[in-house]
Amino acid sequence: MERIIFVLSVLILPAFCFFPTVNAEEVMSMSTLVTPQNMNLEDCNRLYRMPADKLFYMTIAGINANRFSVDELQSKTGYILFTAVGKQFLASVIKIDNNRSMLKITPADNIYYFQPGIVLNLFKYIDVNSLEPLVKIPARA
């Protein structure tokens, strides 16, 4: 019996070392997304291949879709102040060039201890909906 256990441990345990690892960001559970934790500034920034005005409007739509409340917005400078789970955040849209822009979502009190789902769900909304091109709706005659 001891020999069988030894043979199985020698054959099976090394196999676990060679299994592919899974990226933690792809498999975040629901409890991880809603549990407050320290966030890095790099996790709050994302670069997009779209004009800044389109990213600004998509950010507003993402805030609305996630049922966060918009406190203040200014389209000229490209910032949106919104409240999510009792905490204020500042979403800044920064124009890099004509086809690229960056979205930066930071807490207004500069304390990076919050639920990561707030930022990740907003980025995911923009990623999913940016695949569809925006079209003009024809005016009724």
Q: What is the mean pLDDT of the chain?
A: 80
**Considering the domain boundaries, does residue 22 fall inside one?**
no
Total tally of structural domains belonging to the chain: 1
Dihedrals phi, psi of 103, to nearest 5 degrees: -110, 125
Q: How far apart are CA 53 and CA 43, in angstroms?
A: 22
**Considering the domain boundaries, does residue 35 fall inside one?**
yes
pLDDT tops 50 at residue 24: no
Report the CATH number at residue 57.
Answer: 3.30.310.80
**Considering the domain boundaries, does residue 83 fall inside one?**
yes
**Considering the domain boundaries, does residue 86 fall inside one?**
yes
81: domain range? Answer: 31-129
pTM, to two decimals: 0.69
Q: Using 50, 70 and 90 to split pLDDT, how confident is the model at 38?
A: confident
Q: Give the tens place of pLDDT for each residue, 41-98.
A: 888 999 999 999 999 999 999 999 999 999 998 988 889 999 998 899 999 999 999 9
The more confidently predicted of residues 49 and 131 is 49
**Considering the domain boundaries, does residue 87 fall inside one?**
yes
